[in-house]
Amino acid sequence: MNKLFLLTMFGFILLTSCGKEKSNTDQDFSTPAAAEKTADAESYDPKRGLGKYETVELGASLDKALAEKGLKTAEVKCTSCHKPTDEKLVGPGWKGVTKRRTPQWIMNFITNPDPMIDKDPELQAQLELCMIRMPNQGLTEDEARSILEYMRQNDGVK
């Protein structure tokens, strides 16, 4: 009897916690920040992406200390979904990303993924393959820049 009760309660909790209730309201609760993102989405630049990074200056050679910091940050925030190879895990592998994308695109994407996924056709195609949106990890500018440097190291920059 006790096992049956626990099983029933577990099933009830599982069923009620999985769904997301839709709102029946037509009210617009958007904030000025949401309106700002919409304006950004209308002027999407596939070389830059969406976000505050218009240019990102990189050194000709690798900043090894910054790359090491990026590795540590990536191990906490990124490697559960991304491998440094070209192998897909949950998300795509990182190999060659700094050769395919501009530094400002990478910085904008890892700090501001949602509007870019909504606007970029290549990211939308990637989403169809991976089936999971990249979450916004709330990275600081320094964390994002160090991950970019780690990506450069991963792609063979010396």
Please compute the mean of the pLDDT values over residues 81-104 and round it to a whole number: 96
**51, part of any domain:** no
Per-residue pLDDT at 37 exceeds 60: no
**130, part of any domain:** yes
How does pLDDT run across 102-157, given as a tens digit for each residue? 999 999 999 999 999 999 999 999 999 999 999 999 999 999 999 999 999 999 99
Contact 127, 117 (CB under 8 A): yes
Note down the domain range covering 119.
Answer: 83-158
Contact 103, 92 (CB under 8 A): no
pTM > 0.95: no
How does pLDDT run across 59-68, given as a tens digit for each residue? 999 999 999 9
**108, part of any domain:** yes
**142, part of any domain:** yes
CATH assignment at residue 87 = 1.10.760.10
Q: How far apart are CA 80 and CA 97, in angstroms?
A: 18
Domain count, the chain: 1
Q: How far apart are CA 96 and CA 127, in angstroms?
A: 19
Q: Is 96 left (phi over 0), alpha (psi -120 to 50) or beta?
A: left
Tokens of 37: 């993102």
HEC profile of 96-142: CHHHHCCHHHHHHHHHCHHHHHHHCHHHHHHHHHHCCCCCCCCCCHH
Q: How far apart are CA 148 and CA 98, in angstroms?
A: 8
